[in-house]
Amino acid sequence: MHPFRLPVPELWEDILQKIKATGMRMVSIYTHWGFHAPTPENVDFSTGPRNITRFLEMAKDIGLYVTVRPGPYINGELSAGGMALWATTGEYGTPRLNGTAFTEAWTPYQDCISQLTRPFQLTEDGTVLMYQIENEYAKQWRDVEARVPNLEVISYMEKLKENARANGIVVPLIHNVPNRSGPSWSKDYDTVGAGGNVDIYGLDSYPQCWSCVLEQCGVITPWAVSSYFDQFQLASPKQPSLMPEFQGGATTPWDGPPGGCKERIGVDFVNFYYRDNIAQRVTILTLYMIHGGTNWGWLAAPFLGSSYDYGAAIAEDRSIGDKYYEIKNLGLFTRVADELALTERVGTGTEYTNNTKLFTTELRNPETGAGFYAIRHAETASASEEWFALKVNTSIGEFFVPKISGAVVLSGHEGKMLLADFHFGNHTLYYSTAEVLTYSIIDGRPVLVLWTPTGRTGEFYLRGAKEGAIASGPSVTISTSEHGIIVGYSQKEEMTVIDFDNGVRVVVVDRKTAYKIWAPALTNDPKVPVDQTALVVGPYLVRTALLTDNTTISLTGDTNRTIPLEVFTTSAITRIRWNGIDLPTTQTNHSTLVATIPAPPTSYQPPQITAWKSRDSLPERLPSYTATSPAWTTINTTTTTTTFPLSADRHGFHTGTRLWRGLFTTTPGNSTTPTGVYISVQGGTAHGWSAYLNGAYLGSWTGRSDVARGNLTLPFPEGALVSSGDVERCVKRVELTIFCEEFRASQPSLN
């Protein structure tokens, strides 16, 4: 998330709690040089939305690891990529190189962010886990294959590294290389000692285009996958496979579809691509964006409007839906699947199933033997319904599953993550054709939750059990086998609870029910130990859980209607408290607690607004206005080295609304008396401006998304030139808003 795109610190907690509820353990943030240092003399990390210390405190209290990404360049579809615009005018030399002036420009900002981050590092009992140097800067090599170094760029990276270390940053330094554009900054790839390398190399990817306007990404093949595994093997085989950015949505330019393209980067995208990333051995995956926010205060690049919703799982208005829940289904699984972090890719191909239209990747933990099978269509664009059996390699042999149920089905743009020898607590699943949602250790007893799409079959083989019984819900088939019990079922839109004589409880649910199952932590430890969680079924959102009074579980969360609630927790708890209100609570036959959450109030009486007042918002257009405020700068130079002599940048105005006010004189009735004016404004794409003469409106450039300069010839209306003694006076006012991205500072200019 971007704190500067949600500039109300009190709302940061809402987003962080929603991130934590998905099972994700880390939040990644940009900090914005230009936002924190609007002038060379002013670096602000303490007031309002600039208070990053407050953000890091919240993340620690909630229990989330943090990656801090301070740039200086961050991109983020921001004006000048988030760099301070005053540093991009040319006065400080070329940005993102090692020049003395540019180094002196970024040093105060980098000093501040690293120093305030230092006490929040993991080594200081904080939760900051990684710290990024620069962003999307794949320029370490003049010749990548020959490893010919780019010394000037390397020197710049070395200075940034030295600054971070000198200010106490000891956690791993990372970098994010865009779109598989080369193995820059990896110490594994740098065999010539070129320098500039970080501790963990990272790459980003947006396989279905970062923009809702696909033409901005060239040719996009729907549902195509890239070989990230090969890229990591080339660039960083001895490091964790880190993706500091993977597509979480897409931005909407001015000419993009109204409302964005949420369906294109929706539930199916999440299910398919995020599982494929796991199959490619990505071990640290950060979604860009999980929450986008809003482009306040002229932050955005020229091609964007005010919304940065991004089609993210947490919308601009902070609401959540099925995309969020689909991420949660995978996030809760990865949180408890510790064995997944240390796996090797032992095989890929179409021979793992009895259906050659399917492609399988096998990951195997060399220490525990746990296996993970990622299954998708071999033709990735296919959405056909395919039935199959999977050949699994387990500690009791290799065989096809399912054994007693109908075939597994893969339908639509879907991926599956199935298991072999999966360990939970002190117990083992030999295999499961249902996906693991999560598990919790409650009173020393593992409660494992499996999910399957409604109407599909599921099957699992539990080691060591001799008997099993349904405690609640629809029937299942329980079959005793040599090494344990096999359970098969056809998934209904209900929850079934099955208890086994070895102490294991298994809960099987359909996908939609899984969407509303939560595993809130009872601690703020970001690791979220499995014996420090509860399982909560029903609400729209569960934010937090706390055991209080030795008999009460206090939950906080959201709901938009009356909802039945069921809680799996320790037997000592007999009451449920929801958002501070004690709910009438009963215990079920299978020792869970149930209650009903009442619907929230739905009526609202807005206050009456009376006694309206108004004020002229543009008095500067009037001849009676006197420009004596200190905000005005007199432009009286007669020579210039720039194309635009009235450049706002040159005079210290780098973004936002600008006003130019000029006077000229003319002789009444003279043949040279002006009858109009030609105005050329370089304001960036989608900018606009208006002109007034002695308070009379002349016209406007209303802007175009593909045009950076607005040129108009405007005639003077009759009577607009007014007498002022023996002089006729013209007052012209031009108002424009400028954005600019990449390395360019905003340079609004007037001729």
Active-site residues, by number, are 136, 245
Q: Which residues lie across from 666 on neighbouring strands?
A: 728
Q: H or E segment at 165?
A: helix 151-166
**171, 128 in Cβ contact below 8 A?**
yes
Cα dihedral across residues 204, 209, 210, 216: positive or negative: positive
> Omega before 72 cis (within 30°)?
yes
Q: Which residues lie across from 294 on neighbouring strands?
A: 307
**Residue 209, CA distances (Å) to 229, 387, 741 in order:** 20, 31, 18
Distance CA(242)–CA(240), nearest Å, equals 6
> Whole-angstrom distance between the N-terminal and C-terminal Cα of the chain?
40
Give the three-class secondary structure for 178.
strand
The amino acid present at 422, given as its one-letter code, is F
Q: Name residues whose C-beta falls within 8 Å of residue 544's C-beta, 6 or more positions apart in sequence.
A: 17, 520, 555, 556, 557
**173, 243 in Cβ contact below 8 A?**
no
Distance, C-alpha 452 to centroid of its chain: 27
Q: H or E segment at 55?
A: helix 52-62
Query: How would you classify the pairing of strands 505-510 and 445-452?
Result: parallel
Scanning 170-321, the segments in alpha helix (DSSP H) are 228-235, 267-279
Give the three-class secondary structure for 5.
helix
Distance CA(458)–CA(471), nearest Å, equals 18
**Residue 393, CA distances (Å) to 351, 372, 373, 396 in order:** 13, 10, 10, 8
Distance CA(313)–CA(317), nearest Å, equals 11
Distance, C-alpha 203 to centroid of its chain: 15
Q: H or E segment at 368?
A: none
Closest CA to 686 of 704, 701, 670: 704
> Omega before 178 cis (within 30°)?
no
Distance CA(534)–CA(546), nearest Å, equals 9
